[in-house]
Structure 1
């Protein structure tokens, strides 16, 4: 018999979320799929080989369960519980950490409508 574990516990052990209660809430909201099936019960059992699709804020993670955990250990130990098979983000979604941001001189006050339109045009050009 293959070892199984509750999904909320596994998400907590694998350090996908900070607490088990947050993991349970995420599952109950329907933001987790197991092998393509949407689930809404935190008590759903998972086994090695299951593929989880997890929707976090603006990120979609696809993780293959390698091993059910026994505890919430350090990151390196938690990393052994899954294999990340998430697709690469498209270039449009990716923003470089050092990307230029529009700057305004200090003390120049709130932007006017004209300034706002110029900023919006500039942002539209950089997002393409």
Structure 2
């Protein structure tokens, strides 16, 4: 598969294109709720640009996912096409609610 030649793509579009969310508006609502981290920082704007090499951490259902962006697309393709656009990493360990504050 060839990746589209773009500098950046809206985060809500990318999350929908790669099939992590059924609708773009659902992806946008998760972002706007502050549940998505881009390279370790909380993002609240669905229009935030993504580029290859970026790391994302976000929830899907009860699962926390951590992915690295490998490519951008100009449309929502098939599942195999979508899987070629990211690499799934091990999710970060859950935060310990009883850990001492820094």
TM-score > 0.5, shorter chain as reference: yes
Rg: which structure is higher?
1
Whole-angstrom distance in 2 between the partners of 1:57 and 1:27: 14
Structure 1: unaligned runs, 5 residues or longer: 90-128
CA offsets per residue over residues 77-106 of structure 1, 9 Å max, x none? Answer: 0001100012499xxxxxxxxxxxxxxxxx
1:19 deviates by 0.6
Moved over 3 A (4+): none
| Count of residues in Structure 1 that have an aligned counterpart in Structure 2 | 88
Q: Which has the higher helix share?
A: 1
TM-score, scaled to structure 1: 0.65
Distance 1:88 1:49 in 2: 18
Q: CA RMSD in A?
A: 1.6
The residue number in structure 1 matching 2:79 is 75
Q: How far apart, in 2, do the equivalents of 1:29 and 1:4 lie?
A: 22
Runs of 5+ unmatched residues, structure 2: 1-5, 94-102
Q: Taking structure 2 as the reference length, what is the TM-score of the superposition?
A: 0.81
SS at match of 2:50: strand
More strand by share: 2
